[in-house]
Amino acid sequence: MTTTPQVGALLAHRLLAYDGSRIDGGLYTTVTRWAQDAPHWLDQVIKVWSNFGLGLFAVFMIWGWLKARRADSVVMARVLASPLIVVAVYAVNSVLKGMVQEVRPCQQLPATVTVDACPGVGDWSFPSNHSVIAFSAAVALLLAYRKLGAVALVAAALMAASRVWIGVHYPHDVLVGSLIGIVVGLPLAVLAGKAAPLVDRLRGGALGAALGSG
């Protein structure tokens, strides 16, 4: 007779669909050991950044909008499109995440000690949502303002690295997530510039105060 724990184990086994540890599980283990040996305050700083740092990219977008009020309509169009680009790239990533269904490393390698709590079963690991969001936002802003975009790219790289450090992603999760953010986000940012005529019309209307005169 199958007991309740056995049923739970079977269901868990079906959910644990793909073992990414065969790719770079050793590197993941090395990084998490570095985290174990690091000062407690450093781990906590990285943990806070990893969990809440995406808010900084919203600040970057607002900053870009304020700067773009004095810029031409192509720049404003790209800045305004940046949150939409993030949503679009996130949607693409969500489809891929659901198709692959990679198990979180902290579930697959249970002996690992992690800085942050391990996400639950069914919260898939590949690709990293945080990396996708950070890099898509960064490349969208890069085409509007190089300096702002460069700062955002550095922040995106730190976000991606932090996800491995706290133990919730393999290195390949954040690498592929970063590439998706760039490869999908960049052409969308280029296309956003074609909305400049629409921005021109809006600047001449009721939204002129918010969008500036260029």
pLDDT along the chain (214 residues), means of 10: 38 56 89 93 96 95 89 87 95 92 88 86 90 96 93 97 95 96 95 85 73 65
How far apart CA 154 and CA 141 sit, in angstroms, is 13
Q: How many CB atoms lie within 10 A of CB 42?
A: 12
- pLDDT score at 24: 86
Cβ–Cβ under 8 Å, residues 121 and 41: no
Contact present, 125 and 103 (Cβ < 8 Å)? yes
What are the distances in angstroms from CA 48 to CA 12, 38, 41, 116?
30, 15, 11, 10
Six token digits for residue 80: 């305004």
Q: Any alpha helices (H) in the chain, and if so which ranges?
A: 4-15, 21-37, 40-52, 54-68, 73-100, 105-108, 129-142, 146-165, 171-192, 196-203, 208-211
